[in-house]
Structure 1
Amino acid sequence: MSTHFCLRQAQVNQRLRIRTITAKGELGRRIRDMGLIPNTEIRVIGKAPLHDPVALRLLDFTLTLRNSEADHITVEPLAEEETGHE
């Protein structure tokens, strides 16, 4: 039922849930250290004019990721009633 896709493909103001992180080694560790772990709810709050980087809101802070990092994160969209916010 749910459609999973790469974080790079997300739209601005879209609410998402992280499903998987495919990055390994140091990059995978850095992504997880930033709070990007499976089942975390995030919202895309902006993209640069050339769509790189992407700005995310999660756990009461804002984070920016390069597309090369976002490519390793699989997400699913959330319906408004599924979110724990607003």
Structure 2
Amino acid sequence: MRLSDAPKGANAVVQSVTDAHPSDPIAQRLRDLGFVAGEPVRLVARGPLGGDPLLIQIGSTRFALRKAEAARVDVSVGDAA
């Protein structure tokens, strides 16, 4: 499942980050921020009417991501502690 499609408040675990093309700077930045395989993540809130931005928590840090950015992160839902 994509992080952008995860239910609000659900615990999930990052599986991978998808590169749109070789040397994708956005995918690399997501990895640099901590979106790496095995990391617990949670979708905290969605923007107005379910739109942008998405408030994502990874560890004790929260990030505001666009849906297009969050769609690059594959997660499994319900596995995080």
Q: Which range, TM-score by smaller chain? A: 0.7 to 0.9
What is aligned with 2:29? 30
TM-score (norm 2): 0.85
CA distance, structure 2, for counterparts of residue 71 and residue 57 of structure 1: 15
TM-score (norm 1): 0.80
Show structure 2 runs of 5+ residues with no match: none
* Helix, strand or coil at the partner of 1:12: coil
Q: How far 1:12 moved relative to its partner?
A: 1.1
Partner residue of 1:12 out of 2, 8, 16: 8
Deviations 1:12-48 (A, max 9, x none): 1110001111125211111111111111101111000
Aligned residue pairs total 77
What is aligned with 1:21? 17
CA distance, structure 2, for counterparts of residue 40 and residue 8 of structure 1: 16
- Residue 52 (str. 1) matches residue 48 (str. 2): no
Aligned-pair Cα RMSD in Å: 1.4
What is aligned with 1:43? 42
Q: Percent identical across equivalent pairs? A: 22
Show structure 1 runs of 5+ residues with no match: none
